């Protein structure tokens, strides 16, 4: 999806500039579709097998939930990454759209050497575009930050308890336990993370959080919804 909402970015050799990265394909929507699909599968499996001790079903269910969480977080990252590339493409091609305030984001803020955390990319775009940034202590930013923290716990080997960049103690279970129903396939005595948390409720929550955060961002930027 382009900045205008109806025009794909031209990736042909004639349109490319040696100094400007192009958007070869718009994939962020596919990440969100994958997240929704995997969350639906997790819901169906969990409803049909509550209380099961079948390890194959439990592993399959876990795979669906993890895929939903990872895909939801990937949607947030891919969407802002592609938006920055679309911005630079419009500027390079002299599009009339460069009068939109979203296109005031300068290229050097998105170089190979400047890779801020996912949600900071969104905040940076809002600040530079003179739009209202998110309140980081409230929803939807707070929930999106929880989604990213869960993603990090799954792929970075982060323990359930850790200290963030500001030295504050964080705990995934305490942060997320009231956000969604716990896993109906978990057994008594299973640890909160990952067994109790990683259920269909978590998968559906991840999708809702990603959708809400992205929609709010687009509203603040006055651009078409990216979802």
Lowest mean pLDDT of 11-25, 31-45, 101-115, name the range.
Answer: 11-25
Asked if residue 176 has pLDDT above 80, the reply is yes
Q: What pLDDT, on a 0 to 100 scale, did the predictor assign at position 215?
A: 98
Asked if residue 93 has pLDDT above 80, the reply is no
Residue-wise pLDDT for 99-114, tens only, equals 455 555 555 555 555 5
Burial per residue of 92-108, b for 16 or more beta-carbon CB atoms within 10 angstroms, e otherwise: beebebeebebbebeee
Q: What pLDDT, on a 0 to 100 scale, did the predictor assign at position 170?
A: 74
Question: How many beta carbons lie within 10 A of that of residue 226, not counting itself?
Answer: 23
Return the percentage of the chain with pLDDT > 90, whole number. Answer: 55
Q: Where are the domains of the chain?
A: 27-221
> CB within 8 A of 162, min separation 6: which ones?
169, 170
Asked if residue 133 has pLDDT above 70, the reply is yes
Which neighbouring-strand residues pair with 124? none
Q: What pLDDT, on a 0 to 100 scale, did the predictor assign at position 51?
A: 87
- Select from 31, 22, 18 the least CA-distant residue to 2: 22
Q: What pLDDT, on a 0 to 100 scale, did the predictor assign at position 224?
A: 92
Q: What pLDDT, on a 0 to 100 scale, did the predictor assign at position 33?
A: 97
Residue-wise pLDDT for 199-227, tens only, equals 999 999 999 999 999 999 999 999 999 98
How confident is the model over 71-86, as a mean pLDDT? 92
Q: What pLDDT, on a 0 to 100 scale, did the predictor assign at position 18?
A: 39
> CB within 8 A of 179, min separation 6: which ones?
143, 146, 205
- Select from 129, 40, 153 the least CA-distant residue to 80: 129
Q: What pLDDT, on a 0 to 100 scale, did the predictor assign at position 37?
A: 98
Which neighbouring-strand residues pair with 170? 162
How confident is the model over 7-22, as a mean pLDDT? 40
Query: 100 — phi, psi (to 5°)?
Result: -70, 145
Is residue 16 very low, low, confident or very high in pLDDT (cuts 50, 70, 90)?
Answer: very low
Asked if residue 20 has pLDDT above 50, the reply is no
Task: Give CA angle at 125 (127, 73), nearest 5°.
Answer: 130
How far, CA to CA in Å, does 33 sit from each of 26, 29, 37? Answer: 13, 6, 6
pTM of the model: 0.81
List of long-range contacts for 107-113, beta carbons under 8 Å, 24+ apart: 107/20, 109/84, 110/84, 110/85
How far, CA to CA in Å, does 41 sit from each of 48, 65, 69, 93, 184? Answer: 11, 9, 13, 43, 14
Q: What pLDDT, on a 0 to 100 scale, did the predictor assign at position 43?
A: 98
């Amino acid at each position: 999806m382009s900045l205008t909402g109806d025009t794909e970015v031209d990736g042909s050799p004639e349109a490319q500039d040696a100094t400007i990265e192009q958007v070869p394909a718009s994939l962020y929507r596919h990440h969100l579709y994958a997240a929704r699909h995997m969350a639906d599968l997790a819901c169906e499996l969990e409803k049909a097998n509550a209380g099961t001790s079948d390890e194959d079903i439990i592993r399959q269910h876990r795979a669906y939930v993890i895929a939903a969480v990872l895909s939801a977080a990937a949607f947030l990252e891919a969407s802002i990454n592609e938006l920055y590339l679309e911005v630079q493409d419009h500027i390079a091609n002299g599009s009339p759209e460069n009068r939109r305030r979203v296109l005031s984001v300068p290229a050097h803020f998105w170089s190979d050497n400047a890779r801020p955390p996912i949600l900071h990319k969104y905040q940076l775009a809002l600040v530079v575009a003179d739009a209202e940034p998110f309140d980081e202590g409230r929803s939807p930013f707070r929930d999106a930050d929880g989604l990213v923290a869960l993603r990090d716990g799954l792929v970075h080997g982060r323990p359930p308890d850790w200290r963030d960049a500001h030295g504050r103690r964080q705990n995934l279970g305490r942060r997320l336990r009231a956000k969604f129903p716990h896993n109906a396939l978990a057994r008594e005595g299973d640890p909160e993370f990952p067994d109790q948390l990683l259920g269909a409720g978590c998968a559906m929550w991840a999708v809702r959080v990603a959708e809400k955060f992205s929609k709010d961002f687009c509203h603040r930027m006055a651009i078409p919804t990216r979802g």
